[in-house]
Amino acid sequence: MKPLHSPIEMDLARHPACKKCRNKEERKLYLGRDHCEEVVSVVDELPIRCVGEWAYDKIYRLVQYFGIFAPGMHKKWEREINYIEICCGPGRCVLRESAEEINGTALAILKDERFEYIKNALFIDRSPKVVEALNSRINKLQIGHKAKAVVGDFTDRDGLVKHLKKLNPRSLNLVLIDPTECNVPFSTIQLIANELKSVDFIINVALGTDANRNLLEAVKNSSFKKARAKYAEFLGSYSFFERKDVLAASANNNRADLRKLFAEEYEKQLAKLGFAHTDTRSVRHYYYLLFASKHQKGLEFWNKACRYDPDGQKELF
Please write the tens of the pLDDT for every residue from 240-260.
Answer: 999 999 999 999 999 999 999
Please write the tens of the pLDDT for every residue from 169-202: 899 999 999 999 999 999 999 999 999 989 999 9
pLDDT of 24 above 60: no
Q: Which domains does the chain have, with CATH numbers?
A: 57-89+105-305 (3.40.50.150)
Give tens-digit pLDDT for 257-273: 999 999 999 999 999 99
Categorize the per-residue pLDDT at 107 as very low, low, confident or very high, splitting at 50, 70 and 90.
Answer: very high
Average per-residue pLDDT for the chain? 90
**What length is written for the chain?**
317
Does the model's pTM come out above 0.85? Answer: yes
pLDDT at residue number 16: 87
